Amino acid sequence: MAADDVRLYPHPIIAREGWPFVGLTVGLALVATWLDWTVAAVLLWLVAVFVVQFFRDPARTPPVGEGLITSPADGRIVVVGKAIDPITGQDSLKISVFMNVFNVHSNRAPIQGRVMDVQYFPGAFFNAAIDKASEQNERSAMVIEDPQGRRLTCIQIAGLVARRILSYVKPGDSLLRGARYGFIRFGSRVDVYCPPGTQALVSVGDKVYAHSTALARW
């Protein structure tokens, strides 16, 4: 398997985080259908379809090129600009991806490397599309270092509806580019802080896809 070819992984099609929700909603829809509760059955099947699409986790093909930093999430770019990395305190290029409830919510490593630090911060649940969410919302940060010693920070941020950030990594873990490292339920945001000199390849308003879209090049 190539360093960033992680199209094959456990729990394909539907993320493992979603199976309890899928089972519950489909089960309730089947019961309502069997009892001939037509209105309830229709509503429950609509909910089940929404849950299935929310927890979908499709295979992705990475972009081709040297030094690419790929998107950790599906969504829309809401920030591209200079900022201070809140974890390392270093000057950085900040790129933020906002996920709405219709995006895939599986988060993927933007580079190949070793996890150097993981930190969790409790907080509020403001709309993840606004700037203060980066500093005041519940969030989980991961610092990752590539084989050349370059570091970047990924911060998962809860949103207005999101109430659960899941992170599966710890310091010392090795990740392939595109490897699943976390999940955020029901709308959220991921901020990426890249070192100075990194070239942004996206602009505010662009739609991006986890592991398939190159955010930047270093």
The pLDDT tens digits of the residues spanning 18-30 come to: 788 889 999 999 9
- On whether both 182 and 208 belong to a single domain, the answer is yes
Structure tokens at 205: 């308003």
56-57 and 165-167 strand pairing: unpaired
- On whether both 51 and 151 belong to a single domain, the answer is no
Q: Which pTM does this prediction carry?
A: 0.80
The residues facing 145 across adjacent strands are 114, 151
In a domain, 3, yes or no: no
Q: What are the strands, taking DSSP E only, across the chain?
A: 13-14, 56-57, 68-70, 75-84, 91-99, 106-108, 113-121, 139-145, 151-158, 165-167, 174-175, 180-184, 188-194, 199-200, 207-208, 214-217
Cα separation, 80 vs 95, whole angstroms:
5
Domain range enclosing 53: 13-57
pLDDT at 156: 92
In a domain, 125, yes or no: yes
- On whether both 192 and 142 belong to a single domain, the answer is yes
* CATH number, position 85: 2.70.70.10
Contacts of 45 (CB under 8 A, 6+ apart): 29, 33
Cα separation, 75 vs 207, whole angstroms:
6
As annotated, the active-site residues are: 188
Convert the pLDDT of each residue in 179-214 to its tens digit.
888 888 766 889 999 999 999 999 999 999 999 999
Domain count, the chain: 2
- CA-CA-CA-CA dihedral for 69, 74, 78, 82, to nearest 10: -20
